[in-house]
Amino acid sequence: MSRVVSLLLGAALLCGHGVFCRRVVSGQKVCFADLKHPCYKMAYFHELSSRVSFQEARLACESEGGALLSLENEAEQKLIESMLQNLTKPGTGISDGDFWIGLWRNGEGQTSGACPDLYQWSDGSSSQYRNWYTDEPSCGSEKCVVMYHQPTANPGLGGPYLYQWNDDRCNMKHNYICKYEPEINPTSPVEKTYFTNQPGDTHQNVVVTEAGIIPNLIYVVIPTIPLLLLILVAFGTCCFQMLHKSKGRTKTSPNQSTLWISKSTRKESGMEV
């Protein structure tokens, strides 16, 4: 089960072709129940300051037993595109942001025609499938690869900056996509099975593993702690003041006379008989 990244990060609605839909949250691992497809995780960060470098993204995927995304063929590329397309549905709050994939090259500043052949997959895949944007890779100091995800950008010479690949400097900050081996028995606390039509498949089961209710409650409770403390302090102060005032009051017994009687003998002048 994948852990949920940042803070909340953004929800997306992922729908397959036809009437079948499934809801996928950024930072969630999506698995196919037929065991023929790997699991994937889209790690999208709305805040630019939360995005990571290529090496940080690689370590994040590997720490969870996966690897940065490698793509074996066009069918897998289209599958990833369908997930990213639904990250940009109107009203979801998702905006531009490229995604690191696992393609990179080692070496310094190659600009010759052999440069494109130097790229390799970080998970050891031998796939020769490529989906470069026009005039890419540019090589030079740009040695790590992103999948374009800029739905609001004006199209370039190669069309919209969506889903094609571009080489970039490895220390740049981007989102990333992880890839995992198929899970036979997903271990998440909450499992939801959906149906979708993906390229080359028919109504296959998809298991979306979610973090369950407890982690979600944590995100709700933690931000309210300062407010709860403030309420508690105000309530305690009010009680203390009321108690202090009640001690200062004196109560008069109903059996005690409030009249003052002088003990001295008063001489009264009167008429003598």
What are the structural domains, with CATH classification, of the chain? 30-105+118-180 (3.10.100.10)
Beta bridge partners of 100: 146, 176
* Greatest extent of the chain over all pairs of C-alpha atoms, in Å: 148
Question: Do 194 and 203 touch, CB atoms closer than 8 A?
Answer: no
Give phi and psi for 202, each to the nearest 5: -130, 120
Which residues does the chain have with pLDDT short of 50? 1-23, 187-219, 250, 252, 257, 259-260, 269-273
C-alpha–C-alpha distance, residues 116 and 139, integer Å: 8
Predicted local confidence at residue 207, as pLDDT: 46
Cα 196 from chain centroid (whole Å): 24
Q: What is the pLDDT of residue 163?
A: 95
Give the chain's length. 273
Give pLDDT tens digits for 34-71: 777 899 999 999 889 999 999 999 999 999 999 999 99
Closest among 26, 129, 14 to 70, alpha carbons compared: 129
Structure tokens at 242: 């009321």
C-alpha 252/C-alpha 243 separation (Å) is 19
Per-residue confidence (pLDDT) for residue 69, from 0 to 100? 98
Report if pTM > 0.85: no
Give the pLDDT of residue 263: 53
Q: Which helix (H) or strand (E) holds 168?
A: strand 162-168
